[in-house]
Amino acid sequence: MGLEDAKTHADRAVTAEGFRGHSFENTFSGAPSFLRRKYSKDLTGVDVAVTGIPFDQAVTNRPGTRLGPRAIREASALQSPDAPYGWGFDIMEEFAIADYGDMPFDYAAPATIPQVIEAHAETILSQGAAMVTLGGDHSISLPILRAHVKRHGPLALVQFDAHTDTWADYEPARFDHGTGFYKAVKEGLIDVDRSVQIGIRTDNPDTLGITVIDAPEVHRAGPAAVAAQVLDVVGDAKVYLSFDIDCLDPAFAPGTGTPVWGGLSSAQAAAILRGIAGVNLVGGDVVEVSPPFDPAGITAVAGAHVATEILCLWGWTRRG
């Protein structure tokens, strides 16, 4: 395919014959899927499935992340004709990537959502594909982690965030985007000695043993030093990466529910993500993109790039 194909090819998310290769469909038209990958519920031969979980009923401030997966998919169309820059390999050519679509659920039965998310993740993982998730608020990461731990055992967590999301929560039935990783630690899902949180800039004195590299430290030390520290902490452990878009400063990601000033720039985040190439990534998510608070779509563009970087991190240790 080439640029001439934009004149004749349409709706590659539906019409593509396979799961590899670029898409030269017009970026401003057609059925949106992530990176123009083919939609499929059959993951036979698929290496990675991208899925959306449009749930935002566990937020403490502004809602709207239920619209995040759709916006991220639309923004990702800009990246679909080219190999991701700076990686030295082409994730879209080397690996079969499918868009599994969004998780269906009953929005009027929020108490059922954690179990539905976990089952959704298990359905994908049971087909032998890795999973990258588009949120949705950050509460979705806990049931996704539960599904991954059933398959891989306890995982190292690499979390990009303005908040630790480890505030104490003693109510098992509560589903809160600020307490998910507290519960993950208490359930033994996370190996705290191998886990790190990056970009933190809200107060929560109890780290639960997780290494915290706060936003001022990122600004002081620089992305290369931060990436080196992450690699040192994680070592050879299996890693789950969760990227809350509010890790970025509101100047770079205004469309989010709990924005905090003093955050990372897009360039810093990109450099850190590429700097930790080599981690044994088994899955990841990008969450808290809330399109209603960003009419220019800046935040969705950032979210689409982050999701692509997660795919590249997964592929880095499996390429060739």
Q: According to the model, what pLDDT value does residue 172 have?
A: 81
Q: Which residues is 248 bridged to in the sheet? A: 264
pLDDT for the residue numbered 320: 83
Q: Which domain holds residue 61?
A: 3-316
The Cα–Cα gap between 91 and 77 comes to 15
Report pLDDT for 174.
Answer: 87
Computed on alpha carbons and rounded to an integer, the radius of gyration of the chain in Å comes to 18
pTM: 0.95
Is residue 307 within 8 A of residue 134, CB to CB? The reply is yes
- What per-residue confidence (pLDDT) applies to 50? 98
**Which of 149-154's residues contact partners 24+ apart within 8 Å by CB, and which partners?**
149/189, 150/122, 151/125, 152/238, 152/282, 153/238, 154/188, 154/189, 154/190, 154/191
| pLDDT at site 58 | 87
With a cut of 50, list the residues of the chain below it in pLDDT. Answer: none
What is the structure's pLDDT at 178? 83
Residue 276 sits in a domain of what CATH number? 3.40.800.10
Predicted local confidence at residue 171, as pLDDT = 85
How many C-beta atoms surround the C-beta of residue 222 within 10 A? 13
- Nearest one of 283, 278, 251, 282 to 267, comparing CA atoms: 251
pLDDT at position 6 is 63
Measured distance CA(17)–CA(84) in Å, rounded: 22
DSSP β-ladder status, 130-135 and 97-102: unpaired
* H or E stretch covering 99: strand 97-102
| Partners of 241 in beta bridges | 158, 284
| Residues 233-253: tens digit of each pLDDT | 999 999 999 999 999 999 999
| Dihedral angle over CA of 160, 172, 118, 312, nearest 10 | 10
DSSP 280: E
* Residues 88, 269: Cα–Cα separation, whole Å: 18
The token pair at 18 is: 């396979």
Number of domains the chain is built from:
1
Q: Residue 3: its pLDDT value, please?
A: 58
